Structure 1
């Protein structure tokens, strides 16, 4: 019962019924210094409640409202707002010690409705930071511990490596409620960045990234020759590169037939090599952090005493002309052999080998002679070969024009000229014998007029062979867009006009009628062809 003299002691007798769901299920979560809203499930009403009592831990009144008159507890002055239409309550400037159960008793039409819920106040997450026992480690032999600290209440910890969550495993330990991370026998995948994510029900915070420097290698060592062949002519320049995986960068030593060279970088350049520099080259990589080393497999370099080259009589062979390829070599040559496209050369009727196979002559070179020609030279102690790529220039020939023979006025005209030619031909266009300013293989006009009717000519030219092809001719007629008269109709009109002209009898017509008559027939056959 209510204490005598309290506001509720003046209420008339009522039926007390505990309402279900007057307040939503809890708990409600809020942060220190923020605001929480206790919202009832009652439908808003304009009729004042007989009384509303909000309490803290069921004993300390927050606010008592009787017939719209409010009585507020002194510690809540200026911190609450009461909503009379639903009996809801807003509480501001929350403190940690206000975590408790909150209850409401509402008297409406003689019925008491009750509700309770729990409010939990949290201190927001702040000052999240990570410390590491070490940031400089060696792969497979080092361990590291990361510790995460933060301010706030009821904290949960989550570790991230890059964008991936860190979970416990044989190498990974999570202790102290997840705030400590230990990695045993680190690998290069453990370099981070590591972040610590701290959260509670009302806030979340993330630390700055921490990166680990994981030293590894050397590994996967490889010695690369450039050029890649193992045989070189005297005077050649050779580059040897030692490739290796290592962090930090490895230090290098070089060896020839097991003897250390003076070179120490990742690349060695042999300039103007001599036969005395032939042998087995190898490189050794050393990592000053891991204290590990690795040596490459040896690569053999053989310096030949003879070098071959192929010199053509012309750099631009033209079909139908004579071309000679001369196989040159330094020093004594005991044998020369010619090959084409990987197979031994079989001379044809237009080829002659002379000067002990030194000169290969094409009496009249043609496009079938295109290909890769190799001259191989050898003597008892060395051999070499040289390559020449033959590209025979020819043409232009077989000039053709593709495109429409008839097009509507204002339509887009596209004509394409092609020709067989090496190198590609250049083109000149003409309309009814007059040159058109266009040098490409395509002639395009966006909106044609009747004056664009006629004979289009394409002439191809090869700037290497200095030959001009015979021209290709293409007839075109430009017609009305919506002609109501078909080809037969137009032809009929032309013939009728010709008959009338031929039958005319005036002196002037008689003198010119045959010329006009022949012109009519010419127009007639032109229409039959292009309509």
Structure 2
């Protein structure tokens, strides 16, 4: 797989495949994606570049850059596992990195649908540049209104809308580095109207409401059949309505900055609870004479007032049409051809004015709430459903009812609050109910993270423990601010809470920290300074080799050791002093012999010794030695 080309894509997966319930994918010490039951969370810096397959635990990375090279780790907590892979990303030689990205806009105070926004992204240095535009977190691509030019370094938006307010970002990439510049949010002046028209009937109060999404706020006027009314608020109230108020009602919204008008019109038909009168219902043949067998006859229903539909009945039963029975378009006239004896009976026309109110639902209930929460916090669940009339709501936790209403707010959470929360939506008219459930995972907030270790002694095994309180999903170790990985002499426990040195050395000295995290928070321990105890090593005595009688000699002893060694002095096998410095009495010929320094480390329990032979000379020997020294000096000249 390695090396990988700049700009290519890669998928990291476990072999053999092993689904993980709770775990992370990390790059070096940075968590890329955190996944847990019923969800996952991608780090902000990787959103748009990585995708995670929940069923196989695969991580896919797109558009690789040189700085993506490094160690990738998948760590599972359930089941417990850990696997690492190293990626090496290579690209063609680039002459210089990107610096000083500048982003400019032609204007930031724009009018919706009228104005055009032009953004220009530039750099002061850098080669082989690639540009990418984002509106908030969404990538901007070319369309009918959006144009990219100059190698994608310019972005033009024609006829801006309120959804173009940003913030806009320019991302410049060349394989060496990525540089991003954020532009100020645009201010789009706009106006859009929406209607809410309630049900009504004759004699009732009708309220028409007009709302407009606009910056700045709009002013309102109302029209009835093209005549302006004396009302300038977002609502128009019609009191004690009559049929003569049937007509066209319009709301006119005006934005005094954009100078735009927006109008929404609706037709109101006011139908009173009128009495429907049947003035005549007659049965005649074509000549106006009494009916005879096999002849045709016509029944006509004459009414006053508005009618929605007419039914014809014979002996109280609705008449079904057949090859002898026909109705006019408005159902007011019924014709029966070739009348038969079976057509004898009482005929009625039934008229009606229909008001239709459809009762539906509840449908598609949904719960809005977090998936994970900390102990001690309060969670609010919101339940909604499509329903007419509006649904009634009940809340259940692990099968037991806990609240009524569309909103349920828990008390301070405990670990016992973990479980399934169910919303039941009920329509008391349709008699139907629908349910939706949401699993809430409770974790304990981290209260403490610290490193603990015993007395370290060189060449022995040494362990450090990351001591934590709270729910911990992942632990990472650092030394002097850099991530630590398992090596020949270092190992981690399965959950990473213990760091073991199989043979600790004083080269392992440093400041150690552990970083613990769960899906909602992370915490890093204070520094733990590791100082490995060792020695004593390589003791040395500094002193003369020869001395004259009646003189005093000073012996200095030193050794490499942590903590510093304690010293003892021996002369010809007998202890004569303690401390790193030993000063003799006036020397005699009996002072000749072996002087030994013993260095002892009371932590490691080790000792080392070194000896020095001291030769004592008298005056005769001293004169002889001085004569020989003078001869050497004359020869040297």
Q: Confirm or deny a common fold (TM above 0.5).
A: no
Q: Which has the higher contact order (CA 8 A, sep 6+)?
A: 1
Q: TM-score, normalised by structure 2?
A: 0.31
Q: TM-score, normalised by structure 1?
A: 0.37
Relative to total residues, which structure has the larger helix share, 1 or 2? 1
